[in-house]
Chains A and B, each alone.
Chain A
Amino acid sequence: MLKIEKQLTEKDLCILLQGRLDSQTSPQLEKEILDSIPGVEKLTLDMKELEYISSAGLRVLLVAMKAMKNQGEMKLVSVGETVRDILEVTGFADILTIE
């Protein structure tokens, strides 16, 4: 299950993720991101309460990164240990901006 909370301040969008980002929940996040980013210059994904990410989730992060490349920037914040380990092992820690 994945809970998504969005906070838009002018051109800054912060999305808080809670739960698991896997093949079941990734389509939901992908749609939320792509529907919400028109006009956004800074996209922040707060991963503090994200417990797990699968290849499907990584794919959505890549889609989001590509979409934001033409209009601004994207970063991940408050990445927990489990998700950070997955990002490191898969190489995504070097591809994404993580603070």
Chain B
Amino acid sequence: MEHDFRYVRFQGRELAENTLFPKGIFSICHQLANEKMDEEDAALFFEIDKWFSEELPWPGPCKRQERVVCFFKTENTEEMIKMVRPMMWLLEKYNHPYYVVFTNTPGEIVYEDRWQVCCKVEDPEIVAVQPSWSPKD
């Protein structure tokens, strides 16, 4: 099913202060590595992070901490997504929840390269809870 979607993002439950969007897996792992992971797990994460820094461009809008979030392009990132897997294992090891989000509508793209897009984050929309659909209710 995941191959029907053009984009994928690995994110946590907590919201980033600048975007009010769930924090991405790299940001979460960095924080965990600095605050909670034991030394060898942190060293493993930093080696994985170094691999990404050599293979995956760091988008300008992210460097500038603009109100954007990044999605991998599913088409070109098989190898990269395999390298994310140990990061997910580390999050599981430290009981940190994460979600894998597939989408074809990531938002307004403000940066793009061969492997990823960065999309503008809109203000969250809060809507009333829908009445029940069940006629019995």
Contacts and interface: CB of A to CB of B under 8 A. Distances in A.
A95 interface: yes
A58 B82 contact: no
Interface in A57-99: 58-59, 62-63, 66, 89-92, 94-95
A55 B40 contact: yes
Contacts of B40: 22-23, 54-56, 59
Contacts of B83: 95
Interface in B25-76: 39-41, 43-44, 47-48, 51, 54
Contacts of A95: 82-83, 85-86
Interface residues of A, number: 16
Contacts of B85: 90-91, 94-95
A25 B43 CA distance: 15
B99 interface: no
Given A66-B51, A95-B83, 19 more contacts: A23-B39, A23-B40, A55-B41, A55-B44, A56-B40, A56-B44, A59-B43, A59-B47, A62-B44, A62-B51, A89-B89, A90-B89, A91-B82, A91-B86, A91-B88, A91-B89, A92-B86, A95-B82, A95-B86
Interface of B: 39-41, 43-44, 47-48, 51, 54, 82-83, 85-86, 88-89
Interface of A: 22-23, 54-56, 58-59, 62-63, 66, 89-92, 94-95
